[in-house]
Structures are given as C-alpha cells and as structure tokens.
Amino acid sequence: MHSFGYEIKSRQGRARAGIFHTPHGDLETPLFAPVGTQATIKSVTPSQLEELNAGLVLANTYHLYLRPGDETIAQLGGLHTFMHWDRPILTDSGGFQVFSLANTRKIDAEGVTFKSHIDGSTHRITPEKSILIQENLGADIIMAFDECGDPYDLEKNQVALRHTHAWAERCVKAKTRSDQALFGIIQGGVYPELRIQSVDYLASLDLPGYAIGGLSVGETKQETLAILELVDTYLPENKPRYLMGVGSPEDLITGVQRGVDIFDCVLPTRLARHHTAISRTGRINVANARYTSEKSPLDDTCSCYTCRNFSSAYLRHLVLAKEILAATLLTIHNLNTLLTLMRDIRFAIISGRFNEFAADFLEHYEKCA
C-alpha cells in the first residue's frame, strides 16, 4: 500500500508550498508538469528533462490507448519503462480528448462511444475502461473519467455534472492498484452553485487529490479566477489541487495565488516548435530580424543549456534553416523558464514574500508582453 500524503510546508494567503508523496518520488508543489502527449515531451530526451529538474510529466490516455495500445505498453513494462522516465507520471482519463479530438461521439449515462481520429475505428470508453487503460499504463496519478460541458450552457452542465459524479464513483470502485492516486475532476462550467455541488460530492469520496476541469475552454479570465477562488474555499485543504491545461507564466502566478498546486500545459513545448521563446518579461519571436547578429543569449537572466551556450543569432539561424535543433534548444529554454519560475514561487511562499514576488512579476511581465 502506497501513501499519497500531501504535506503543506508553508502558506501565504491562499498560496501553498507543499510536498506530495508518490511511489516514484516526492513532488515539491506548486509545480508545472510538461506534457508528453505520446509518451514523449516533444523534441527533448528524458535526460534533458532530468537536467531541467522536471518532477511530474503528463501523458495522454486517449492517444496511448489508440496507439500503440495500453496492453502493449503494459507488456513492455508500463509507461515508466516504455518512455524511460522513473520520476512521477500523470495520465488524464481520456475524456477531454474524446470530446475534443474524436470524429464522432455519443454520450450516454454509461460512457462514450466515439470514432478514432486516426483510422475511424469505433471505440467505447466507460469509467471502468478508463481505469483499466490507466492501470495498464501505470502512471502514479490517474484521473477519473469525466464530462466537460460547454461552460455557458446550464442545462448541459447539469447533465455533464451528473455523469461526472456517477462516473467518479464508478472509477473508485473499478480501481484495483494501490500504487496509483485517483484524482477527481470538478466540473460545473461558470455556474457557482454547480461548482460547489461538484466540490461537495467529490470531496465526499475522500480522493487523494482534486483537479479543476472545464476551465480554459472559452470562458473569460475573470470567470476563471472567480471559479478558482470559489473552489479553493470549499476544497479540503490537505489535498493537492490540479488546474488542468493552464501554463502561461501569468496564469501560473494567478493560479498559485488562488490555491492551485499542480499545473500542466502544452504551451512551452508548442511555442518552442513555433519559434517562440518564453521569458520572465514576455514572449520572444526568435525569427525576428533584430537577432540577425545578436551575440547575447535569448534571455541573459536564464541559466539553461541553451542560454549558457548559444547566441540569439545562432538560434534565429536554426529557425530560418528549419533545423530540428531549433525546437530542442527552444523547448529546453521554455521549460526551464516555467520550471524555475515555479521553484522561485515555491521559495517565495516559504520565505513569506510571495505577495511581493507576484506583484513584481505581473507588473514586469505585463509591461513587456
């Protein structure tokens, strides 16, 4: 039996610095998890990720179920062995991709039937099936199968919430492995009464952690922040909170200010493949002609491998020549920016100066963005 205890070491306002224990090591929170959709963080190796001191990485159940198949990965020793990553991994439930990527989908009270976006074949995922797939993959943190409704459709959100709650309970019953922590996902769109209902119901299941779902799907920033504050007020304090799909520097700061402990997002890796670097002062378009003869690194406050060794002019050259190394070097830089930002946030909370840190960061970031 593994313990997934969460210890809060320090707090300032709603912000928390803690440690989440997993079978593949302790995670220091708040943290940012890079996304490895296909069991790889695009363009970087696991040893490069270790050098960046990444803790948790995310992999997508929907994609790995369709290809190469969760049973194949289980036969090959599970996801940690398959992708050569022996630190913690989180898999999502597959729900979000079924709703956003699959060609056609039919939702009923029992689950979802959909056609693969790869070859059009028909599949069905139920809560029990999602848990079976995630047990085959073998991540440390797994997610309950949920339904994300349109944020502004009250009636659809009420139905989605009924499904999400019934399915979470079925996931708990279906789960057989004790070395995986099952997180519940709070839904309810922009409707405070539904969000409170969702927190109350999922908290009654006493799960080891909670995700806040259905945000960053079209609602305004003000609505997102209001929901986070509301959810923070009602969630059990001694469990980690995970805000799914959020990862711009300003959103990390404002999320931590509202009690979030874990974030994931494709943003740093996706921007890197589109020639954009993230710095503490804003975004940098590396293809810009101003870098043609620029000897200095992209970000002279950054200590990553890319900034220690390469000029902006060299990076611009790689981008214009469409060299693969451009994506690798920019991904290393972007991940380093977010991972060191989270470590600095954590240190600021522990040393009691997070409010000043956040105000200073947001003022400087907005000025230059």
Per CB under 5 A, residues contacting Zn ion are: 302, 304, 306-307, 333
How many other C-beta atoms can be found within 10 angstroms of the C-beta atom of residue 193?
A: 10
Q: Which is nearer to Zn ion, 50 or 108 (CB)?
A: 50
Q: Is 92 an annotated catalytic residue?
A: yes
Q: Residue type at 98? A: V
- The closest alpha carbon to 171, from 206, 127, 124, 139, belongs to 127
CB of 51 to Zn ion, least distance (A): 12
CB of 295 to Zn ion, least distance (A): 15
Q: Which is nearer to Zn ion, 272 or 345 (CB)?
A: 272
Query: Of 92, 232, 251, 299, which one is the catalytic site residue?
Result: 92
Region for 253 from its dihedrals, namely left if φ exceeds 0, alpha if ψ lies in -120 to 50, beta otherwise: alpha
CB of 264 to Zn ion, least distance (A): 21
Q: Which is nearer to Zn ion, 159 or 287 (CB)?
A: 287
Query: Of 146, 251, 264, 299, which one is the catalytic site residue?
Result: 264
CB of 307 to Zn ion, least distance (A): 3
Q: Which residues of 5-23 are buried (b: 16+ CB within 10 A; e: fewer)?
A: ebeeebbbeebbbbebbbe
Q: What's the rounded Cα separation, in Å, for the pair 215 and 157?
A: 13
Q: Which is nearer to Zn ion, 178 or 296 (CB)?
A: 296
Q: Residue type at 227? A: I
Q: Which is nearer to Zn ion, 58 or 330 (CB)?
A: 330
Helix axes 249-256, 324-350, angle to 10 degrees: 20
CB of 95 to Zn ion, least distance (A): 35
Q: In a 3-state reduction of DSSP, which class is residue 276?
A: strand
User: Which residue intervals of the chain are DSSP H helices?
Assistant: 46-51, 61-66, 70-75, 79-82, 95-100, 127-137, 154-174, 192-204, 221-234, 249-256, 267-273, 305-309, 312-320, 324-350, 354-368
Q: What's the rounded Cα separation, in Å, for the pair 293 and 313?
A: 5
CB of 196 to Zn ion, least distance (A): 42
Compute CA distances 38 → 41, 68, 73, whole Å: 8, 9, 12
- The closest alpha carbon to 153, from 110, 191, 118, belongs to 191
Q: Which is nearer to Zn ion, 42 or 280 (CB)?
A: 280
Residues 156 and 164: beta-carbon distance below 8 Å = no
Active site residues: 92, 264
